[in-house]
Structure formats: C-alpha cells, structure tokens
Structure 1
C-alpha cells in the first residue's frame, strides 16, 4: 500500500494509525512485534517514529539513537483482544552497524524474543536477514515537493 504525506504532522498521524491497527490485531505471542523502516537520509524515518511513539503513550522526545544504537521506553499500551500488554518500546537505529552480529553483543536477540516488546528499527535493510519473517516493512521516500513523502507499507 502506498500513501502520500504532505507534511511531518501527516507522517506522524500515519504512524499513529499504524499503531492503532497493530493494537487492534490479535496478540503477537512468539516474539516481539517488529517494524522495519527504510529510506534515505531525511526521508522521514525519525518523524514516523515520533508519531508511532506518541500513539503508544510515550511522552519522551524522540531523537534517532544513531550513536547509542537503541533506546528503551516503558509503555502501558494494551491490546484490547485479551489485555495483552506491550511493556517496552525499542527505538533502534542501525545506521552505524556494519554486521548484524554487532547487535548480538547488545542483547538484540533477547529484545526480539520477548513478545511484550514492540521494536521499531531505522535502516532495517542493513539487518534484514536477522529479523522475524513477519516484520512489518515501511519504506519512506522523498516526494516531488520538499515536505512531501511517499510511504509504502
């Protein structure tokens, strides 16, 4: 599916809409719910993360964790189906990662294995082979105008 965004606010709203769809879907119990963001520099990945995190009830200011690799945030969001809770939201940025094995030293496998985590990864195409098969892929592209974006789900 392709969607157009004409400004950052609209990009954040699209991300919030995706959160609503995830929360309305049946609980994901085998491992973390993973979303993979791809796109060039300035394509709107961090803006998308901001809207996504806000929809999860996270009030912290979202900045890309490029030098930290990931940030962990607590959330009290529950899925209505059976009160299943996402305890933690992980914002991951693998821009600086050369090999996916570098993430293992940071406990990434454990993060992905916990079904109470929701994980959003910027530059995810760099680690595609270690992500779950049911990862939700989101591609952001620059549009014709400065603030326009094409977003593919």
Structure 2
C-alpha cells in the first residue's frame, strides 16, 4: 500500500526517543476519542517495534505486564471507557489465512499495534499509519511514518512538530 501523503522521517537516537514516540502517539490517540487507530509497525528484528508499542500502551494507562505477543500472536489490553488496544506480532505466522483463527473482531478495538504486518497483509484491515523503524549505524534509529488516509495526515504533522 502506498501513501498519497509525504512521509515524515524522525530521528530516534536512543531507546528513550523511541519510547517518546510511543507516548506521543498515545497523546494523539487521546485527542481522537471516537476514532480507532490502526498502526502497522514495520522493521527488522530489534528495530524497536515492541519498545514503541509498550510505551504507547503504558501512556494509554495500561498497568501490569505488557507481554510481547511473539508466541501468543495477539495480546489484548483494556483501555479507559471499555475499549481495547490489541498488540499483534505476526512474525510467526506462515500464511495470512491463519489470522482467521484469532477471532479478530474489531468492534471494541480502539488501537491496533501490528508488528510484522507484511505477513498478514492480505487478511488485515488497512492501516491508518505505517511506521517503519530503521536501524542506522551506531545504534540509532529512524522512524519513517506514513499517513495512509486523510484522517491521520494531521497526526503525523503533529508528531513531526514535536520531534523537531
């Protein structure tokens, strides 16, 4: 899927910057109380996808352990107001049709954080944001953020302003 909107590139020099991005996304979600947000998290192993997801979930008030869904494929977290955040890690699926067995009912989901979406692309709902985390020499990272629809263009603009 390509975006008609210009992507935003953010420099993430360390893990705390990746966490800051997660918190900033959570803050933007809080400003949109009635709109669900679907985020595809892309990047190589160790790029910081889970770090970003955990920081976002913590900022949304998730207490207790935030487990990696690497083996469970999906972890569900209650959010304020009765909605849920779902964190998916599709690294271990072999066929996108395996998603049919997970019971992904989007009725109560306020936030989707989907790692390795390319493995389930044919069966996934389209994203609102695509975030590609790229490891750079020296251990830093970059986040390339694409808004895939008009409702999230202002969101990435605000993220860019916060990081520059």
State whether residues 20 and 55 of structure 2, in contact with CA within 8 Å, keep that contact through their aligned partners in structure 1: yes
SS of structure 2 residue aligned to 1:60 = coil
Distance in 2 (CA, whole Å) between partners of 1:26 and 1:134 is 18
Deviation at 1:116, TM superposition (A): 4.0
- Flag the structure with higher helix content: 2
Partner of 1:139: 132
Q: How far apart are 1:135 and its partner, in Å?
A: 2.8
Q: 1:149 aligns with which of 141, 153, 164?
A: 141
Q: Which one of the candidate residues 55, 60, 72 is aligned to 1:56?
A: 60
Question: 1:17 maps to what in 2?
Answer: 24
* Distance across 2 between alignment mates of 1:115 and 1:138: 23
Contact 2:99 2:120 in 1 (8 A): no
Q: Which runs of 5+ in 1 are unaligned?
A: 77-84
Preserved contact between residue 86 and residue 118 of structure 1 (Cα < 8 Å) = no
Structure 2: runs of 5+ lacking an equivalent: 1-7, 146-164
* Aligned residues of 2:133 and 2:143 also touching (Cα < 8 A): yes
Per-residue CA deviation, residues 9-55 of structure 1 (Å, 9 max, x unaligned), is 11011111012122223622xxx531110100000011101111111
From the superposition, tell whether residues 138 and 131 of structure 1 become closer, same or farther in structure 2 (CA, over 3 Å).
same
Instruction: Tell me which residue corresponds to 1:126.
Output: 119
Q: Is the 8 A contact 2:99 2:123 kept in 1?
A: no
Tell me if 1:8 matches 2:15: yes
Q: 1:129 to 1:86 in 2, by over 3 A?
A: farther
Q: Which residue of 2 aligns with 1:93?
A: 89
How far does residue 134 in structure 1 lie from its aligned partner after superposition?
Answer: 4.4
User: Residues 26 and 87 of structure 1: is their aligned pair in 2 closer, same or farther, counting only changes over 3 Å?
Assistant: closer
Contact 2:67 2:75 in 1 (8 A): no
TM-score, normalised relative to structure 1: 0.81
Separation of aligned partners in 2, 1:127 and 1:137 = 14
Q: C-alpha distance in 1, partners of 2:123/2:50?
A: 22
Does the 8 Å CA contact 2:83/2:108 hold for their aligned counterparts? no
Specify the SS of the correspondent of 1:105.
helix
